[in-house]
Structure 1
Amino acid sequence: MDVCKLSFLSFLPFVFLSIAVVATGDELQTFIVHVQQQESHLVATADDRKAWYQTFLPEDGRMLHAYHHVTSGFAARLTQQELDAVSAMPGFVSAVPDQLHTLQTTHTPQFLGLGAPAPPPTHGNRGSSSYGGAGAGAGVIVGVIDTGVFPDHPSFSDAGMPPPPAKWKGRCDFNGGSVCNNKLIGARTFIANATNSSSSSYGQPLPPVDKVGHGTHTASTAAGAVVPGAHVLGQGLGVGAGIAPRAHVAVYKVCPNDSCAVSDILAGIDASVADGCDVISISIGSPPVPFHKNPVAIAALGATEKGVFVSMAAGNAGPNVSSVINDAPWILTVAASTMDRSIRTTVRLGNGLHFHGESLYQPNVNNSPNTFYPLVYAGASGKPFAELCGNGSLDGLDVRGKIVVCEFGAGPNLTITRITKGAVVQSAGGVGMILPNHFVQGYTTLAEAHVLPASHVDFVAGAAIMAYINSTANPVAQILPRGTILGTTPAPAMAFFSSRGPSIQSPGILKPDITGPGVNVLAAWPFQVGPPSAAPFFSGPTFNIISGTSMSTPHLSGVAAFIKSRHPNWSPAAIKSAIMTTADITDRSGNPILDEQQKPANFFVTGTGHVNPEKAAHPGLVYDIAPCDYIGYLCGMYTSQEVSVIARRPVNCSTVTVIPEHQLNYPSISVTFPQAYNSTTPVLVKRTAKNVGKVPSEYYAAVDMLDTTVTVRVFPSTLQFTEVNQEKDFTVVVWPGQGGARVVQGAVRWVSERHTVRSPVSITFA
């Protein structure tokens, strides 16, 4: 593969399109302003560039962020009249309003095959690896773009940690600056958007303290230190550790709550690259819009071009088709799946049937196994949305001393959380809550810190419970605490909420890329969870168990750090390829990975499969991508002007080698045919494999296609390598056939004595 050079000196701005909010009159609004340096006015240093940015503004104090590394221009507070004046100045290109994006362990390291973490080193053993060998992230810096961090948590202890590498240029913005250490090496705040004025002081950064918990949870999942005795309300007890506990952590607070301004996210990414981070973890949702209108995707490309690996959440809009976000090919897009652990509570009905569910809070409220309570359905009150157990919905319904069935769902305003449901039941006098899934949630159940005995049960169980209520005049039930159960099956299985492909923006790239643990993940938390009455009974560091692609993303960020520590010279694309081509396509029982309905999940749900860190560290072959290849790929999708927006420099696509989507040297293959395609003409998909394993080595091609109406062949059928980093080209030939399914999926595998390098193949008839 040819490697080409990109110039990063040009400052052709790119356009951010966002929610159409128009400022009028003298109202101040935050805009992201994009400017282009003129040949007669070139500046090189960050200070000079910021000073030049300032010349566009009517007065000091208006600028909120100046961008230097992964985007160009600045964010500032302007009236519409002032913006009109700025737009007439030389060098101005565009300006758009800011917008908001939303936020999207004790067991997962072992579940991922990384072995049992060891306790922190004792005195005299500083610097030795405490977990996973020397490759558990040693020397790697993971930047977490999120809600901040709770620095006093033992997950950020630096026992046994060496100082950060010399390339580190960041800082610690906690009061006094002494809170950071050799584990938590940096923490900064970038909240300066006018929409968050209550949390901002414009030029006076607030300490990056996590008041939400999300950032602390994600940072400790990726690279938290080893913490013995981790648990939540007594559940999940074990030794807690991040996936790469030897990695250093830098936290960039860009979200004051669950809403995060794009201008602040960009500032965090910009700073993390400048500070020297190797991996950036972002568990925040960008809308699925074209890449030239997606500022976070553009910034992620800027980071990737500088050698920084970017891992982002696939989104929590599943099981809807084509709901995947953060789907640019330079981003690792992470789906969410379960692990083999249940925090079990069992519902037993008066008719003798019992059903397993989950909940973190498990007080033993029954005096004997024979103690049953009356069972009532919340929807019986007849009030609108009463079945969801929102505030006031149980008024007039006698639930005192009863177990209440509250349906899954957040209501029309998305404000009724599952914890809130339990609090409403408790305040109305209920003694317990059963939370059944709707059909779309299927078999995915969540263990959460409810305030009363509860059980979140699957759809089938919920239907049986409702049938029982409707079959008798006096239904009764009990909720039995069963504790933490390991070795449950099937595992992994896909979570209902995990967003699905195919990608709307680029269907020629198979998304999501990979799945990892994202259901009931235990990690650090800033404060005690569960009912206040439980706090005296559970001492020690505070943890929480939560779910989402927000949780699976830092798992993969930690895996990337794990690989980077073993292969420091690998590009982000090479690391990504290693993760994807070594993924497991079966669960722990050797069966296909299932979706939330317990049916085999396709690639639009799982990506290439479930991450296998140890295999990913030794992939044998990788599919590398040079930064210029992304430009050729983009020129196959957009105009020169639009590509220039993404590339942050002038691009003339007529002078660029255009790479069709399916021809990008990606680890997976996605081909789309029109229904009327001439089946006698095949599509040729070219790939280049780089040997990163031992030599000499010989790989043989194998093709796995379940639908015989599609024919796939590989030429040549053998690849021989005599040197490390040697590259070999091959072609996958796809004949679409006729009369087959709308989507046909399979795989191309390169098999040697030591390795199997698997690329999923998805063929769609549009």
Structure 2
Amino acid sequence: MSTLRLTRRLATIVASGALLVSGLTALPAQAFNPNTDAPAGPGQDATRATILLASDPVATSASVTKKNGKVDLNAAATKAVRAQLNEQRNALKKWLQSNAPKAKVTGEFDVALNAVTVTLNGTGIGVLRTAPGVAAVEYEAIYTPQAVDPDLALVKGVQAWQQSNFATSGTNPSGWAGFGIKVGVVDTGIDFTHPCFNDAGFPATTQLGDTRFTNNKVIAARVFNNKIQQNKVTAQAIQSHGTHVAGTIGCNLLTPAAVSGVAIPYAPSGVAPGVQLGSYNVFPANIEDARSEDIFKALQAAAEDGMDVINMSLGGGAKGTNDLDSQAVNNLDKAGIVVAVANGNEGPGYFTAGSPGTAERALTAGASAVGHFVGLRVTGTNVDASAATGEFGVPTAPVTAPVAALAPSQESNGLTYDPGAGCAALPAGSLTGKIALISRGVCTFSNKVFNAEKAGAVAAIVINNVAGDPTAMASDPLFPTTIPAVMVGQDDKAQLVAAAGSAITIQSDLSYFRHPQYDNILAGFSSWGPTTVDLQIKPDVVAPGVNVLSSVPMHTCTDKVVGCWAFFSGTSMATPHLAGMAAVVRDVHPDWAPWQVRSAIINTSIQDGVLDTKTGKVVERDVMKVGSGRADLVASLNATVALSRPSVSFGGVPKGSTAPRTQQVTVTNLTASTMTLPVTVGEKQGSGSFGVDKSSITLAPGGSATLTISYANAAGSHANSMSQAQLHLGDAAHAALWGMSK
């Protein structure tokens, strides 16, 4: 049975209105050919133009009067300059009436610029450049939010859109990345009423399944469960997971986000905002388990409905080489559909990858951090920390009390926690009137907070045990609590421990925190390879999966205009980043087969792009934790070669055997030019040895060459010792290699 792996990390944000505008460049008139018009570029409106006149505006005129260095607009000399500029603009308007009658003046300016703006109505800007006294004519710039969506920045989403001339603003979906591509989401359903999935501007499309839950953005809504009639379930999105996943894939461009009055300075977008979505609900109502049969039916329906990409942010126990769920994924890839799958949330630890992420042809995601969240500030003398809340609620007023660190405790796992982990009952009254300081680990958050409250604590602070931002804590009804509880980051431990006995305050006003220094840290929960039985490298690649902001169903909040939003964490949140990337790659390269799309994403990833979980400061190079690295959409779109196998595992080789084992990889030229690439093997770790049979390959346009990769155990190697290396094809691609003595 496949079960949904869902780690809820609820918090909320709102978009601010900060804007950035592209400035005009005053180019000399002779630089233009008045008989031709260049098309509008990214960030420009081809229906409107600004005409810059040659004379200086008031701001730079030598004839104006200034007072204390500032232009005096009321001075006679300044008014005379403005009158002269007005005459020039009147002359231009008269010229337009005779020579470009369709162009209509919409604005006049003389302080910062000596210019007029016009609606072109079909008039070429080359015509306007011939007007007397004109210095330059440019299409009008388009305002875009100043802040960058951090999720998209980490996968270079906006940069990739710009490179491919997709719109980075505006309301016309036909210009957005992914337009024309269909992505199926096998999950808990998609709430089509969310502003993320407004279908304005999308083409009228035949809607499939239960059309009560579809529009021209979410074009299919189907439900799969063996007790549909008995349970009276529908395709409606009740749980939040699927709507969140869908938002990461294809939320409409720059959709404002707001919850509880907390603002962030950007409006979220999906990685592929132009896609249409299919909602295949295998976890209807509040059902959290799905049978393989339900999954199979959903996959078949998605294929029959014409989906180009499928997202499966779900997982279950791997079943080796006879895993039919994995076989289904492999076969869909062969049928022309890219399938992105979560690697699982069972980390840390080897052999924790889940099915169907274990499928050889799945595009399997590991999770890394996004350094932002919504939470509270903790303050005091020499104390200033940011804290995540989660399901323990927000205090209605600031809580001030002495902080008390729990005594160090040695837990059943043999580790000593300092402060203590708080998993056992505490002496009665030992924390009366105090804020308890507790280490994360061993037991549930609710267990810790419950024990602290029973000992008299008025609040609790849990210290994270991994690097990066704190995460929103989930509660457990088995341990009912009433006191406020928050989590702080590992880096804030020292200041809080040093404050023991002093009063600190947990503030009650939510704030948005952005900590870019905590980006790209490997999630502690992210599952590691190798896969069971066949010992393949998984995940394939890592994407943002900690504190990911996206849409949740409209019934989960009261804001029916802006909609409902939340931060979630899990490889479930990393997977839709890869699905969205696959959609954009398929949009730009419609002739690429799924294996080429997967290779483009995996083999061009940022090899040293993920940091270790423990310290958050050391590059994580273990391929069983990070695959080939961190996903990079710009590099994926620019891929020049594709590998028939994006990674090569030699599995387990008997420890007494030192004879080389070989496997082959075919490299295909994706370009229309002949290329010669050097071939090397480097970054070796472990005692085993890797090699390749060629030092270079020459590929004709569209041509291929085969490489033979070798691996051998070292003499005297120990059982279960792992070795890895990287195959490099110049700067064009790299692939992870792995072997193990058994």
Normalised by the length of structure 2, the TM-score is 0.68
Which residue number in structure 2 is paired with residue 594 of structure 1? 612
Which residue number in structure 2 is paired with residue 314 of structure 1? 343
> Alignment partner for residue 724 of structure 2, among 725, 731, 745?
745
Contact 1:347 1:478 in 2 (8 A): yes
Deviation by residue 1:61-88 (Cα, 9 ceiling, x = unmatched)? xxxxxxxxxxxxxxxxxxxxxxxxxxxx
> Alignment partner for residue 285 of structure 1, among 312, 315, 332?
315
> Alignment partner for residue 403 of structure 1, among 422, 435, 457?
435
CA distance in 2, matches of 1:573, 1:690: 11
Which residue number in structure 2 is paired with residue 502 of structure 1? 530
| Cα drift, residue 670 of structure 1 | 4.2
CA distance in 1, matches of 2:273, 2:222: 21
Which amino acid in 2 is paired with 1:676?
G
Asked if 1:687 corresponds to 2:665, the answer is yes
> Alignment partner for residue 152 of structure 2, among 92, 109, 123?
109
Which residue number in structure 2 is paired with residue 546 of structure 1? 568
Deviation by residue 1:375-399 (Cα, 9 ceiling, x = unmatched)? 3568999xx9xx8889x98996586
Which residue number in structure 2 is paired with residue 63 of structure 1? none
Asked if 1:148 corresponds to 2:189, the answer is yes
Which residue number in structure 1 is paired with residue 333 of structure 2? 304
Deviation by residue 1:224-244 (Cα, 9 ceiling, x = unmatched)? 212432144415442111111
Contact 2:546 2:573 in 1 (8 A): yes
Mapping for residues 332-371 of structure 1, pairs under 5 Å: 332-343=363-374, 345-348=376-379, 352=382, 355-359=385-389
Contact 2:2 2:314 in 1 (8 A): no
Which amino acid in 2 is paired with 1:261?
R
Which residue number in structure 2 is paired with residue 605 of structure 1? 625
Residues 1:364 and 1:708: Cα distance change in structure 2 (over 3 Å): closer
| SS, match of residue 238 in structure 1 | coil
> Alignment partner for residue 728 of structure 1, among 705, 708, 713?
705
Which residue number in structure 1 is paired with residue 175 of structure 2? 129
Asked if 1:225 corresponds to 2:252, the answer is yes
Contact 1:151 1:180 in 2 (8 A): yes
Mapping for residues 141-220 of structure 1, pairs under 5 Å: 141-164=182-205, 171-173=208-210, 177=211, 179-193=213-227, 200-202=228-230, 206-220=233-247
CA distance in 2, matches of 1:218, 1:395: 44
Contact 1:231 1:238 in 2 (8 A): no
Which residue number in structure 2 is paired with residue 247 of structure 1? 275
Contact 1:375 1:476 in 2 (8 A): yes
Contact 2:192 2:215 in 1 (8 A): no
Which residue number in structure 2 is paired with residue 331 of structure 1? 362
| SS, match of residue 600 in structure 2 | helix
Identity between Structure 1 and Structure 2 (%) = 23
CA distance in 2, matches of 1:181, 1:722: 46
Residues 1:184 and 1:495: Cα distance change in structure 2 (over 3 Å): same
Deviation by residue 1:588-630 (Cα, 9 ceiling, x = unmatched)? xxxx632344344211110111100121122111123xxxxxx
Which amino acid in 1 is paired with 2:697?
L
| Cα drift, residue 525 of structure 1 | 0.9
| SS, match of residue 325 in structure 2 | helix
> Alignment partner for residue 446 of structure 1, among 471, 481, 484?
471
Which residue number in structure 2 is paired with residue 374 of structure 1? 402
| SS, match of residue 328 in structure 2 | helix
Which residue number in structure 2 is paired with residue 515 of structure 1? 542
CA distance in 2, matches of 1:670, 1:268: 33
| Cα drift, residue 716 of structure 1 | 2.1
Asked if 1:257 corresponds to 2:237, the answer is no
| SS, match of residue 731 in structure 1 | strand
| SS, match of residue 229 in structure 2 | coil
Q: Unaligned stretches of 5+ in structure 2?
A: 7-12, 14-148, 162-166, 413-419, 476-481
Which residue number in structure 2 is paired with residue 57 of structure 1? none
Residues 1:179 and 1:353: Cα distance change in structure 2 (over 3 Å): closer
CA distance in 2, matches of 1:566, 1:119: 16
Mapping for residues 265-276 of structure 1, pairs under 5 Å: 265-276=295-306
Contact 1:709 1:739 in 2 (8 A): no
Normalised by the length of structure 1, the TM-score is 0.66
Which amino acid in 1 is paired with 2:470?
T
CA distance in 1, matches of 2:586, 2:324: 26
Deviation by residue 1:225-271 (Cα, 9 ceiling, x = unmatched)? 12432144415442111111111100111113332233322221221
Which residue number in structure 1 is paired with residue 71 of structure 2? none
Residues 1:353 and 1:740: Cα distance change in structure 2 (over 3 Å): farther
| SS, match of residue 243 in structure 1 | coil
Residues 1:247 and 1:527: Cα distance change in structure 2 (over 3 Å): closer
| Cα drift, residue 357 of structure 1 | 4.3
Which amino acid in 1 is paired with 2:701?
E
Which amino acid in 2 is paired with 1:574?
Q
| Cα drift, residue 360 of structure 1 | 6.8
Which residue number in structure 2 is paired with residue 621 of structure 1? 641
| Cα drift, residue 218 of structure 1 | 0.8
Asked if 1:757 corresponds to 2:733, the answer is yes
Residues 1:187 and 1:425: Cα distance change in structure 2 (over 3 Å): farther
Which amino acid in 1 is paired with 2:663?
V
Residues 1:528 and 1:163: Cα distance change in structure 2 (over 3 Å): closer
CA distance in 1, matches of 2:317, 2:524: 19
Asked if 1:139 corresponds to 2:173, the answer is no
Contact 2:350 2:529 in 1 (8 A): yes
Residues 1:226 and 1:410: Cα distance change in structure 2 (over 3 Å): farther
CA distance in 2, matches of 1:720, 1:348: 63
CA distance in 2, matches of 1:139, 1:757: 28
| Cα drift, residue 462 of structure 1 | 4.8
Contact 2:468 2:518 in 1 (8 A): no
CA distance in 2, matches of 1:261, 1:708: 40
CA distance in 2, matches of 1:423, 1:178: 44
Mapping for residues 12-31 of structure 1, pairs under 5 Å: none
Which residue number in structure 2 is paired with residue 568 of structure 1? 590
Which amino acid in 2 is paired with 1:617?
L
Which residue number in structure 1 is paired with residue 117 of structure 2? none
CA distance in 2, matches of 1:694, 1:344: 52
Asked if 1:676 corresponds to 2:656, the answer is yes
Residues 1:425 and 1:141: Cα distance change in structure 2 (over 3 Å): farther
CA distance in 2, matches of 1:409, 1:734: 39
| Cα drift, residue 732 of structure 1 | 2.4
| Cα drift, residue 400 of structure 1 | 7.3
Residue range with higher mean Cα deviation, 138-147 or 300-309: 300-309
Asked if 1:585 corresponds to 2:630, the answer is no
| Cα drift, residue 503 of structure 1 | 1.6
CA distance in 2, matches of 1:278, 1:318: 30
Contact 2:552 2:565 in 1 (8 A): yes
Residues 1:523 and 1:710: Cα distance change in structure 2 (over 3 Å): same
Contact 1:103 1:259 in 2 (8 A): no
| SS, match of residue 567 in structure 2 | strand
Contact 2:182 2:308 in 1 (8 A): yes
Residues 1:226 and 1:486: Cα distance change in structure 2 (over 3 Å): same
